[in-house]
Structure formats: structure tokens, C-alpha cells
Amino acid sequence: MSDKPELEDVNKDPEKFITALYDTLDKPQTSQTLDDKILKAARACVNDVAPVVKLKKRPAWLKPVSAAAMLMLVATVSLHQIFDPSAPLNSEHYVSESRLQNGDLMAGKALSAAPKMKQEKRKQAAVPMASMQDQTTVAYAPAKERVKAKSKPKPQKNAMKKTYRRDLSELAALSDQLRPTVKHSIAKSQATSAEVAVVELDQALIFSDEEEASSPIVNRVSASAAKSLSVKSQTVEILSIEAFKPLSLNNNRWIYQKQNDAFYFLQLLQKNVAEKKSYRLLKVDFELSGLTQNTLSYGTEVKVRPKY
């Protein structure tokens, strides 16, 4: 009775009592049959390899026989071609000729009658076909005439075509004359934007390829656009992380100016040098701390730190 749990504990600590009582329960084990069954299944599952599909072999005698047959066929054909290269391939015709050469006229006649019969049959068949063709030609004759009549060029239409062609050539000449002027006006309206200027530059390059870059107006516009673009890009320097590090060491002040999708435009006030300089900082590389994005306005001081 040593394994008997204290019965009084069932009210004091039921968990302890029940656990102790549960431990005293008999501990049945699995039967040997079940063990064998499961272990066998475990092994069978691992050793279950897909059966190898064996290809059905051809009989051993087939190979030499087929090779010999092929060889004989090739030899026969080549020999035939060597000894009588002009011989026709049609065997029936060949046989009939050979017999005629032997003087067997009847056989030759009998054999040569076959092509004649064929020709007669063809002729008989051709007669109704020809009559049918004649009927169709008669039936469609008016329609043909109508088509021919339509296809004849009328004098009025010819005159219209001529005037149309003349107009086209005149228009082309006029467009050639107007082309530089139009380009000049378009370029003027777009010269304010640097991006557009880049496009115009590309166009100028294209024109130069087409030997039209000699136009002085186009050259002038392109040059001015390129100049404005270069000025814009040169004014605000992009600040890399490496270049930022020495600037961040001193007690320099960063003044927020503006931002776009890619850059923060900041002004650096260097205390040591007493100098202002504007920089562009990539948003991917830097973040502005101390202020939320909503409170950022022109002239506010911000703290800059690289993201990485």
C-alpha cells in the first residue's frame, strides 16, 4: 500500500492526488503484433522505390537482318543507276520498251495500248469539261465587260488625281518652308523647363543625324536650354554620405529649404567658416529628425542623419 495516494489529499490538493493516483494505474503496452506491423510499414515506406520500367528488347536476329536488307536495297539501286542511268523509273514503261526491243510487237502493242486508252479516257472526260467552261464564260461575259468598263480610267478622274498630286507637292514645299519657324516658337515656349530642354536637345541631336541640324534657330534654342539645365544642376550640389560625415562633425546648422520626391534641399551654415551653402540630400540616404514632415517649412532648422 506504499503506492497508495493519501486519500485526504483529494480535497486539499486534488491535482496532486489525481496525478498520484493516475501514476498508480496499470501501464499497458502495445502488443508485439502492432509493433511489427508499424515497423514493417515504416520500412516498406522507405524502401518503396518506383519500379524500373524495362524496355522490351528487340530480338537479336533483327539487327543483322535489317542491316543486310538495307545494304541490298542500297546496292541494287546504286547498281541500277550505274548501269542504266537514263532508264526511267516507271517500271511499266521500262518493261514495255524492253519487250519492243526484243521484237515482240504484239506484246508491245498490247502494252502500249494502255497509255492510249488512258489518253482516250482523258479526251472523253475533257469534252464535257470544255462545254461546261464555255457555258460559264458565256454566263459571266456581261459581268466581265462591266468590270472592264469600270477599270477604264475616266478623263475626269484623271484630272482630279493630277490636281490632288499637285496640291500635295505644294503643301510639302510649304511645310518645308514653315518648319524652322514653328520649331522656333515651340522651343521658345518650352525653354523655361529644363526637362523639356533635354528633350529638345535630343531632338536637335536627331536633326543633326538627319542633316538638319544646320538650322541656326534650332542650334540656338538647344544651346540655351542646355545652358539653363547645366546652371540648375550646378547650383545645388548633391551631398553624399561620405561628404556628409565631415560636415556633421562640427556644430554646423542645417536649414530646411524645400523638398521634392527624391531630394531634401538644405542650406548648411558652417560656423567655422561663416559660410552658407546649399545641398541636395537624397531622401533614400538621409532622414531629417527633430521635426515631423508636416512641420517642415522654409527656414526651419533640422537635424540630419544618414539612414545607414
Q: Which residues bind other proteins (CB under 8 A)?
A: 1, 4, 7-8, 10-11, 14-15, 17-19, 21-22, 24-31, 34-35, 37-39, 41-43, 45-46
Q: How would you write 235-278 as a 3-class SS string?
A: HCEEECHHHHHHHHHCCCEEEEEEECCCEEEEEEEECCCCEEEE
Neighbour count for residue 143 (Cβ, 10 Å): 9
Pick the closest to residue 265 from 280, 277, 250 (CA basis).
280
Distance in Å, CB of 52 to other proteins, minimum = 18
Distance in Å, CB of 50 to other proteins, minimum = 14
Strands 253-259 and 263-270: antiparallel
Distance in Å, CB of 41 to other proteins, minimum = 6
Of the pair 37, 307, the CB lying nearest other proteins is at 37
- Residue showing cell 552658407: 276
Of the pair 43, 80, the CB lying nearest other proteins is at 43
Of the pair 29, 292, the CB lying nearest other proteins is at 29
Distance in Å, CB of 37 to other proteins, minimum = 6
Distance in Å, CB of 71 to other proteins, minimum = 52
Of the pair 16, 188, the CB lying nearest other proteins is at 16
Strand partners, 256: 266
Distance in Å, CB of 53 to other proteins, minimum = 22
Strands 253-259 and 301-306: antiparallel
Helix H or strand E segment including 305:
strand 301-306
Of the pair 31, 156, the CB lying nearest other proteins is at 31
Pick the closest to residue 293 from 278, 283, 308 (CA basis).
283
Of the pair 11, 260, the CB lying nearest other proteins is at 11
